[in-house]
A and B are shown apart, each in its own frame.
Chain A
Amino acid sequence: KNEVEQSPQNLTAQEGEFITINCSYSVGISALHWLQQHPGGGIVSLFMLSSGKKKHGRLIATINIQEKHSSLHITASHPRDSAVYICAPTQGGSEKLVFGKGTKLTVNP
């Protein structure tokens, strides 16, 4: 079993839809990162959180440490949101990022 599980693996949505990507992890963590990898390959850090909820524009990330679960929400999705979204907890103790396999999001106009 992978240490980090993301669902769904692939997601296709229509422009304007509300998107949710889920991440469950089995390791003890000190924080959790959500990353976005563009079709061109570049990686951008969206959020780093260790509790509760963070919001940035149309993006919202939540984490429940007790349940070892995090979600990334995108409101009013747009074709430019099409990318791979990667969940990456920071493993407590070793302080290294452990990566999920990513969720490929395609938003159609």
Chain B
Amino acid sequence: DTAVSQTPKYLVTQMGNDKSIKCEQNLGHDTMYWYKQDSKKFLKIMFSYNNKELIINETVPNRFSPKSPDKAHLNLHINSLELGDSAVYFCASSQEVDTYEQYFGPGTRLTVT
């Protein structure tokens, strides 16, 4: 059973479209995260949710909106996609915030044309 899963694995879309990436974890963790890995392979946190509440919100354009319907799911909605949004997006989860190991999903490669 996959611990942290993301769908889709690949997403190709045109500028201006709205898209969503879904993330689910079956580890019973309370905290989930979204990270972005740019073309230079540099990882950066975007959002973190703990018990469905937003606790970290980095300086991400408000076109990006995370939604956590329950503790096991954290979806990422992106409106009005831009070329610069092309990246690999990783979801992760941990038991709680702070000093707990994080488990990563396989990543979603988003390509905006």
Contacts and interface: CB of A to CB of B under 8 A. Distances in A.
A17 interface: no
B104 A42 contact: yes
B77 interface: no
A6 B43 CA distance: 14
A76 interface: no
Contacts of A84: 41
Contacts, number: 55
Interface residues of B, number: 25
Interface residues of A, number: 23
B35 to A, nearest CB: 8
A96 B41 contact: no
Contacts of B104: 35, 42-45
A90 interface: yes
Contacts of B101: 33, 45, 48
A101 B42 CA distance: 6
Interface string B29-49: 000000100001111110010
Interface string A74-105: 00000000001010101000111101011000
B76 to A, nearest CB: 17
B45 A42 contact: no
B33 to A, nearest CB: 8
A8 B99 CA distance: 26
Interface of A: 30-31, 33, 35, 37, 41-45, 48, 50, 84, 86, 88, 90, 94-97, 99, 101-102
Which 4 pairs between the two chains have the least Cβ-Cβ distance?
A43-B104, A31-B99, A99-B43, A48-B101
